[in-house]
Structure 1
Amino acid sequence: MASTDTAPPDALLLLRASVANKLPPILAPTDSLDTASELAFPPLPPLTSAPAVIPLSTLTRFIKDNAAVDLRSIFFAWQERESTITEYIASAQQLGVTHLGFIERLELVTFVEGGQEESDHIRPMAANFLASKSGQQLQMQQAAMQSQQLAGKVRQTDPRLLEIYAGERVVLNRDVMLRGIKPTDFSHVRKQAEDFISRLRSSSQGAKPTTLPTRPAAPHRPPPPPHHHQLQKKPRRQDPIILLSPSASSLLTMANIKSFLEDGVFVSPSTAIEAPPNFLRVSRLLPGIHPTIPIRFDVVDSAEKFKPEYWDKVVAVFTTGQEWQFKGYKWSNPVELFREVKGFYVGWDGDQVAESVKRWGTGVNVLQVERGRRFRDRELCEKFWEAVERQLKAKGWWR
């Protein structure tokens, strides 16, 4: 008879071990996730010495909205790790499983692939279990398995060696190290900033002119007529404009540009359900222009209704390398256009950059989107905003 202190294998650890050993689990009794009821794992020493079968309804240690996520939803998220977030959510709703958010799915995939050991979304093992004999053995075995994955050639199972591996410190990547062990609430900083800005505005509006020393009264004379420039109010700086390519082959369109520029997430434009608008407004805080106030940008994909003064506000032009796009622009010559305005060419990673873009010189920034690796989208988004911030500084924006 089995010992009473032996705990059932953890589903997340089994899934992680099966991926590390390239022994994927099998759905049972059918191979379809919507009709299967169990997930069968092969023997995965040192976690298990015999096949393990876990019901798909088993609740795991992965937490979403303060509730445990079942194994069926976890396994489905792992299967759909290469899908876009829009495709994944649509498939999850159709299957009837719990769908994870973008960051949640990213942390699950990173954990299963062995990229990190802890997560805010994964509940640690129970303290009483880790304190028991079986818990200590499992902890040492996990460290041994991790060391084997890193070394790629260590296969010994000597108890003394396992104990040494258990004392090793795992080197984590910077994203995990900077996350911390618990979330920090910075809402008080926002409140202090709002109070400071409110006081600053009220003091500037209610400030009285400084009283200068009085001079002897002069004979009364009618005041001179005001100058023309005194009658005119200082024009208010209008929002800068981002101009997209109207080409059907463009990867960034009015259907997905807002999620890319504001959230750093690339969504395929072909997945858009509603018709895209012809005008959008996005906001971005650029500390080099103003440290506290975000700048609003108008986004359009056509210059057909542009007034002549609108071209002074254009700070970025997206292109697919087709010169017909510039017909009707203030600068119809691409070389001249990209000397005045920053250009951006967005293509798939690994594809050839259009020859026309290469001829147009350094005025066009090339951004390459990686297929199936959505966590790289944020890097491309930051590169875009850095170039726009330099463009605004060169134009003397808000100076």
Structure 2
Amino acid sequence: MSNKNEVVVIGGGYAGVMAANRLTQRDDVRVTVINPRQVFVPRLRLHQLVGETHEAVVDYQEVLAEGIRLVVDSATRIDAAERRVMLADGGTIGYDYLLYAVGSHGAEPRVPGAAEFAYPIATLEAAQRLRSVLLDTPATAAVTVIGGGPTGIETAAELAEQGRKVTLVCGGVLVAYLHPKARRTAHKYLAELGVTVIEGTDAAVTAVTAEAVELGDGRRLASAVTIWTAGFDVPDLARRSGLRTDAAGRLLTDETLTSVDDERIVAAGDSSAPSDLPFRMSAYVAYCLGAHAADTVLHRIAGEEPTPVDLSFPAMCLSLGRDAGIYQLGHKDETAMRLYFSGFVGKKLKEFACEAGIKHLATEAHKPGSHHLFKDGKHRPALLRAQRDDTTASVGRTTSAPR
């Protein structure tokens, strides 16, 4: 019988790879990563794949520690009672500890015609398909990008820089995280690239057809290729496995990132909901949570009490083509500062952030335990106190209500 602690990581993205590498600090731990692809996908590069300026893939040999077993397959169910993971190919993998890092994917559009006629971009396969479609589409044809988040802006800018006629449709404001000054700068760069921006409540998309996009105010935009970037969802693996999740399907955990149902299951990244207060989705947050999740597992193996997560990195960066970008600094309460970097400096900082993510994973592969988190200290504890106060008040109102 093996004397190794078998740790299975479901998901080979930023969170899963960081966690897997960090777990190799102990010689008595054997790590298996389950991932549906043979390559690592830096998803924040997918708009570049569509624009033919990056392939958006990295060989796992560059970012995954030697000795980690990679199983190219998809997990279909977690049997927590038996401590095993069922795979799509019919096999199973047993574990002593499970690290749940299944990530996120593009939200299924609910607008009539969108699922049939709009192209998503949130996965490698979707981005590759979209690039192929664009290669077969004349450069003069109208392209509509739906979604005013970073992915929508970056995709619109990337394609406009190629000389394509691009319209960006946003049902709210462009990148809500940005300070109004930075948002005006983003508008300026998009205008310089020739992107037509339609935003506001009247710009809500009501239907998508093969040739057009219809808006709430009755406008009909001609569109040869429509790209859907609005919203993200998480896989329903936890819910299907009988584990408690939040309303969006993220695995519910305590502040150590341990499942509220099973201390042998720990979660990280976009698919985790510590204290039902999930962190903002980003590559940086994902691999930091991966590091903390691994530390939680290592503490449990050592017979030690795991520590609560303490994480903050209030910033956002986005590219606007290959020559400009915005790097927005923020407060720890996730509101934007007036301070941001734009233009060439913003572009360089965005590129540095993209490269740094891969470098952090590679460094952890060679020196497990080396990654350190930016600390929060005050903001998250305050959120937790407010949540507890709201819960207590709700219980008080319920118990004092007349019968």
Q: Which TM-score band (shorter chain)?
A: under 0.3
Higher relative contact order (CA 8 A, sep 6+): 2
Instruction: Give the TM-score normalised by structure 2.
Output: 0.23
Larger radius of gyration: 1
Higher strand share: 2
TM-score, length-scaled by structure 1: 0.23
